[in-house]
Structure 1
Amino acid sequence: MINFVKIILIFSLMASPCNSLELYGKFAQGGLITGKVDKKIDLYVDNKKIKISDKGYFVFGIPRDQTNEIVIVTKKNKKEIKKLIKKIQIRKFKIQRIDGLPKRKVSPTAEDMKKIRSEGKLISKAKNINSNLNYFFDSFIRPAKGITTGVYGSQRILNGKPRRPHYGIDIAAPKGTSVLSSNSGRVILSERNLFFTGGTVIIDHGHGLISIYSHLEKTFVKKNQLVKKGEIIATVGSTGRSTGPHLDFRLYCNNVPVDPDLVISLN
């Protein structure tokens, strides 16, 4: 069991304090790392250049199945300054069986697949947005009151058939329960009836970090609308592939699904 504690790692890269690197988060499977660095520094994580804001803020996610150490390199004028190697905490994920789903929601028809592919393009576009918003560096809150009935990373077996892992947390609550924006940002998708996720809202928090709210009964926001952290954006429902009222809440960082519980626990 992971101890959900905020970890602050501050590494001195050079004698000058302006070249320090700050890292916040849990280096574990599904973790989200935010940080700050001198904006004149280039930052690479596993050889991938990380976007840095005009104030020096950045963010990156750790995949569910990451087992190798993460290599963090800072450079200035293309010259390496410092290399950090971080071990990843390996987690043991649950197996969750869900029965009683409509057959079409587990084994879609050919006609259903047309709708699914069309909707998949919308969601894929949202997952690949990389805006200059800086809300990602702010803390996240739990978006609804209720009992957690599904956790991140669990292997799903639907109507007896193995499916992909669950990449969010499920919060069970009565229909009509308020759903809050977990952080400030811009709405990039607001749909009432997607095949799998039903009523769905996606919010961009900047630098590739988005939040997804699914199975909603009602939605109160529109695409391109700016919302504040804690603002009511929808109500809990049981739309899409669902066996009862609940909110499926997910976070993606540059298309990497990260664990909302790990992120919220940093508060």
Structure 2
Amino acid sequence: MLKALLSAAVLLVTSGAVIAAEMQSFDAVKVRGELTQGALLIGETAPGNQVALDGKALDVDSQGRFVLGFGRDAKLQHQLTVTRVNGDVISNTLTLTPREYRIERVDGVPQRTVTPDPKQVARARKEAGWVWQARQQVLPREDFLTPIVAPAKGRISGYYGSQRVLNGDPKRPHYGQDIAAPEGSTVVAPWSGEVTFANDDLFYSGGTIIIAHGHGVNTTYLHLSEVSVKVGQTVEQGQPIGKVGATGRATGPHLDWRVNWGQVRLDPALLPKLYP
């Protein structure tokens, strides 16, 4: 077990060393973070410039800051376009480093475990709609500019991008990071933010909280035994928000926590690389 909340410099490392954040310069724009699948990046351009990723406009603040992110299986080349105040358009190619993920193949699993009951599927789909809606919210905040702290103490027991193949049937990849901890252990907000979803009984994830941090960046906390916050509540970094549990479809007590940029699922283990 970890003896304390990890600092931003070493937080959430699954393998290898976390390097200090460095700005990478392109024409008319800079980005900070690792150019790889699953990464969240913070960008900067001159105030007043417009920025688009693969043709989709990004939210640029008055100081020229913006964020962007790439999913687990994102293509390896992307166009980051900057339109200056004078109308000049500059296009940059971002090339991502591909990643390999843990794949576990398990045969001989009872079919009822592989294929859920139709009623359970219907319930889960309805609840997924609630979560999708919560992640659509873009709030005028920039909490992610503050170096992150760990949401719980514990051993890393599950990794972003890993996947199980049950009886030859590939299941949905794991989009979070699992922290094994005793039931009832405190879960805190890794950044400040506003609670956009709180429910103590979802089918798959049990006690669930979503916190928005601005520019579409949000974090999610699953399998909680206690939900201590309400929708609309503002929380401060390090504030307790719930307790570790084994609710939903969890097989043992742990915190499964996730990071999204809108609907793009990102790797929590890469977040420390955002900060110098």
TM-score, structure 1 normalization: 0.89
How much has 1:154 moved relative to structure 2? 0.7
Is the CA contact (8 Å cut-off) linking 1:198 and 1:214 kept in structure 2?
Answer: yes
Deviations 1:196-241 (A, max 9, x none): 0000000000111110000001111111000011111011000011
Show the counterpart of 1:42: 50
Distance 2:246 2:111 in 1: 16
SS of aligned partner of 1:215: strand
Partner of 1:177: 185
Question: 3-state DSSP class of the match of 2:225?
Answer: strand
Residue 127 of structure 2 aligns to a residue whose secondary structure is helix
Return the match for 2:265 from 234, 257, 266: 257
2:141 to 133, 141, 145: 133
- How many corresponding residue pairs? 261
Is the CA contact (8 Å cut-off) linking 2:42 and 2:274 kept in structure 1? no
Quote the residue 2:171 is aligned against: 163
Unaligned residue ranges in structure 1 (runs of 5+) = 14-19
1:81, CA displacement in angstroms? 4.2
Provide the C-alpha distance between the structure 1 equivalents of 2:157 and 2:268, rounded to a whole number of angstroms. Answer: 14
Amino acid at match of 1:147: R
How big is each residue's C-alpha offset from its partner over 1:90-127, in whole Å with a ceiling of 9 and x where there is no partner? Answer: 1111014689x998775332222232122111001012
Find the aligned partners of 2:248 and 2:41 in 1 and give their Cα distance.
31
**What SS does structure 1 have at the residue aligned with 2:75?**
coil
1:65/1:80 CA distance change after superposition, 3 Å: farther
- Between 112-121 and 3-12, the greater mean CA deviation after superposition: 3-12
Deviations 1:130-151 (A, max 9, x none): 2221213222222111111110
Instruction: Write the deviation string for residues 23-65 of structure 1: whole angstroms up to 9, x where unpaired.
Output: 1100001011112222300111112111112332211111111
Contact 1:57 1:137 (8 Å CA) reproduced: no
**CA-CA distance at 1:172 after TM superposition:** 0.5
How far apart in 1 are the matches of 2:100 and 2:271? Answer: 18
8 Å CA contact 2:211–2:218 kept in 1: the answer is yes
Structure 2: any 5+ residue segments left out of the alignment?
1-14
Letter in 1 for 2:181: A
Q: Distance in 1 between matches of 2:17 and 2:97?
A: 11
SS of the equivalent of 2:141 reads coil
Separation (CA, whole Å) in 1 of partners of 2:210 and 2:258: 9
Structure number with greater CO (CA < 8 Å, separation at least 6) is 2
Separation in 1, partners of 2:151, 2:106: 23
Q: Distance in 1 between matches of 2:18 and 2:80?
A: 23
In structure 2, the partner of 1:72 is: 80
* Partners of 1:26 and 1:132 in 2: CA distance: 25
Specify the code of the residue in structure 2 equivalent to 1:26. Answer: E
Distance, in Å, in 2 between the alignment partners of 1:182 and 1:140 is 5
In structure 2, C-alpha distance between the alignment counterparts of 1:258 and 1:69, rounded to whole Å? 17
Aligned equivalents of 1:265, 1:200: Cα separation in 2: 26
Residues 50-199 of structure 1 aligned to structure 2 (within 5 Å): 50-77=58-85, 79-96=87-104, 106-157=114-165, 161-199=169-207
Percent identical residues: 35
For residues 48 and 61 of structure 1, the distance between their equivalents in structure 2, rounded to whole angstroms, comes to 12
Summarize deviations over 1:164-221 as a string: whole Å, max 9, x none.
1111101100001111111110000110010000000000001111100000011111
Cα distance change, pair 22–253 in 1 and its aligned pair in 2 (3 A): same
Q: Counterparts of 2:189 and 2:103 in 1: how far apart (Å)?
A: 29
Tell me the SS of whatever aligns to 2:198. Answer: strand
Q: Does structure 2 conserve the Cα–Cα contact (< 8 Å) formed by 1:4 and 1:266?
A: no
Equivalents in 2 of 1:190, 1:104: separation in Å? 30
| Aligned-residue CA RMSD (Å) | 2.5
The one-letter amino acid paired with 1:242 is A
Query: In structure 2, what is the Cα distance between the partners aligned to 1:136 and 1:105?
Result: 38
* Partner residue, 2:10: none
8 A Cα contact 1:141 1:264, kept in partner: no
Seen in structure 2, the aligned counterparts of structure 1 residues 97 and 251 have a Cα distance that, compared at 3 Å, is: farther
Amino acid at match of 1:6: A
